[in-house]
A = this chain, B = another copy of it.
Amino acid sequence: MAQNRVTIKQVAAAAGVSITTVSHVLNEVPGKRIHPETRERVLAEAARLGYAPNMLAQSLRTQRSHTIGLIGDEIATTPFAGKIILGAQDVATAHDSVVFVVNTGYEREVENREIDALLRRQVDGILYAAMYHRPVELPAKLAGVPTVLINASCADPAVPWVVPDEAAGGEDAAEALLSAGHRRLAFVNDVDDIPAAFGREEGFRRRAAAWGVPQEDLRVVAAEADPEGGYQAAVRLLDEVERPTGIFCFNDRMAMGVYRAAAELDLRVPSDVSIVGFDNQDFIADGLHPGLTTVELPHYDMGVWAAEQLFEQIASGRSGHPAPTKRLRGPVIHRNSVAPPSRGSALGERHHPIDRRGNA
């Protein structure tokens, strides 16, 4: 197994000094003056032997494992939030740490077992991530352990969390449409009553109001948050004379369905309908044709913010009360699904005569 690694003792022997001295030069302990010559000797031998400290021993002694845990319901399973891992890892690396990642699959039992496993390994802290933005309750086992929540909020004012700024996202989406000249808008929302749904709607409405769009020119419909849901909603929305010229979709998957509805109704994107998505989901947003303009979810940045917050908390012994929280705004990724409304579309005309196909 772990082949005979070289220890501090061997370096000491090779350099003809005590292990204390080796430790001192290797750790560059502050108040210690060491003869430059022996110092060189130690360094040379350490390098020659390829010495690397055994962090288990080190951790045992110092009570710092330089290890954090990233625990999530579906963190690794879905294509969705892998960038959270990446963000966390990047800052972990900067802090000489490495991260354990565990998936719980929403099973409380698994979650508890895994938290125990991490705690037994003396992780310095834990990042607790949710797959989709939602309020959570912190597992009891985590009380007293430095923790920060990602993509989740928590009632306990002592625990820091970071979530996407949903309202800002809604505003930005609206802005993308409004500044292109659209004045008849629609929001195809998720049916679920979650922060992402009402947050985005709130922002979207706010911005539309600010541009003077009257209530009746902003339609909001809800559907399942998948392509089929988007499709269903869009056919209702688009198959009428006073149809919206700009549609904002709860997510890119729904946007996929909206594209299909538009195609079936022989409406072109973006000239007949402009579309804005949400998520900037890999391979969808840029795979659609034309490319989907969409609001990106700040997964990477949330991972970074949370990890930084965590290391701060670890270093300082305790988080401030109340703990810091953050809503991160994601950028809007401009592609080709938004254009000024065409004259005809603004008048509710179709570009081509209808040719509804039979396939559902």
Residues of A at the B interface (CB closer than 8 Å) are 1-3, 5, 52-57, 59-60, 63-65, 67, 76-80, 82-83, 85-86, 89, 93, 96, 98-103, 113-114, 116-125, 144-146, 226-227, 231, 253, 256-257, 260, 263, 268, 281-284, 287-290, 314, 317, 355, 357, 359
Considering the chains assembled together, what is the distance between the CA atoms of A86 and B77 in angstroms?
A: 6
Considering the chains assembled together, what is the distance between the CA atoms of A124 and B62 in angstroms?
A: 22
Contact A117 B102, beta carbon cutoff 8 Å: no
Considering the chains assembled together, what is the distance between the CA atoms of A257 and B59 in angstroms?
A: 53
Residue of B nearest to A121 (CB): B55
In the complex, which of the residues B56, B102, B117 contacts A122, with contact meaning CB atoms closer than 8 Å? B56
List 18 additional contacts besides A67-B100, A85-B101; criterion CB under 8 Å.
A3-B144, A52-B120, A54-B120, A54-B122, A55-B122, A56-B56, A56-B122, A77-B83, A79-B82, A82-B82, A85-B103, A93-B114, A96-B117, A98-B117, A99-B101, A100-B101, A101-B101, A227-B288
Report if A53-B120 is in contact (Cβ < 8 Å); known contacts: A2-B145, A359-B290: yes
In the complex, which of the residues B52, B54, B98, B114 contacts A114, with contact meaning CB atoms closer than 8 Å? B98
Report if A121-B282 is in contact (Cβ < 8 Å); known contacts: A1-B317, A317-B1: no
Please name all residues of chain B whose beta carbon is closer than 8 Å to the beta carbon of A263 when the two chains form the complex.
263
In the complex, which of the residues B53, B103, B355 contacts A89, with contact meaning CB atoms closer than 8 Å? B103
Report how many copies the assembly holds.
Answer: 2
Least distance between A333 CB and chain B CB atoms (Å): 16
Contact B65 A76, beta carbon cutoff 8 Å: no
Contact A145 B3, beta carbon cutoff 8 Å: yes
Contact B256 A287, beta carbon cutoff 8 Å: yes
Contact A2 B119, beta carbon cutoff 8 Å: yes
5 residue pairs of the A-B complex, CB under 8 angstroms, read A1-B146, A56-B59, A76-B82, A93-B113, A256-B287
Contact A99 B100, beta carbon cutoff 8 Å: yes
Report if A103-B124 is in contact (Cβ < 8 Å); known contacts: A1-B314, A289-B260: no
Contact B100 A359, beta carbon cutoff 8 Å: no
Considering the chains assembled together, what is the distance between the CA atoms of A144 and B122 in angstroms?
A: 27
Report if A121-B67 is in contact (Cβ < 8 Å); known contacts: A2-B145, A268-B359: yes
In the complex, which of the residues B56, B121, B122, B282 contacts A98, with contact meaning CB atoms closer than 8 Å? B121
Considering the chains assembled together, what is the distance between the CA atoms of A317 and B2 in angstroms?
A: 10
Considering the chains assembled together, what is the distance between the CA atoms of A101 and B54 in angstroms?
A: 19
Considering the chains assembled together, what is the distance between the CA atoms of A278 and B60 in angstroms?
A: 48
Contact B79 A79, beta carbon cutoff 8 Å: yes
Least distance between A274 CB and chain B CB atoms (Å): 14
Residue of B nearest to A84 (CB): B76
Least distance between A120 CB and chain B CB atoms (Å): 5
Report if A79-B145 is in contact (Cβ < 8 Å); known contacts: A1-B317, A56-B122, A120-B55: no
Considering the chains assembled together, what is the distance between the CA atoms of A60 and B55 in angstroms?
A: 9
Contact B80 A86, beta carbon cutoff 8 Å: no
Least distance between A99 CB and chain B CB atoms (Å): 7
Residue of B nearest to A79 (CB): B79
Contact A76 B76, beta carbon cutoff 8 Å: yes
Please name all residues of chain B whose beta carbon is closer than 8 Å to the beta carbon of A289 when the two chains form the complex.
227, 231, 257, 260
Contact A118 B145, beta carbon cutoff 8 Å: no
Least distance between A186 CB and chain B CB atoms (Å): 21
Least distance between A63 CB and chain B CB atoms (Å): 7
Residue of B nearest to A263 (CB): B263
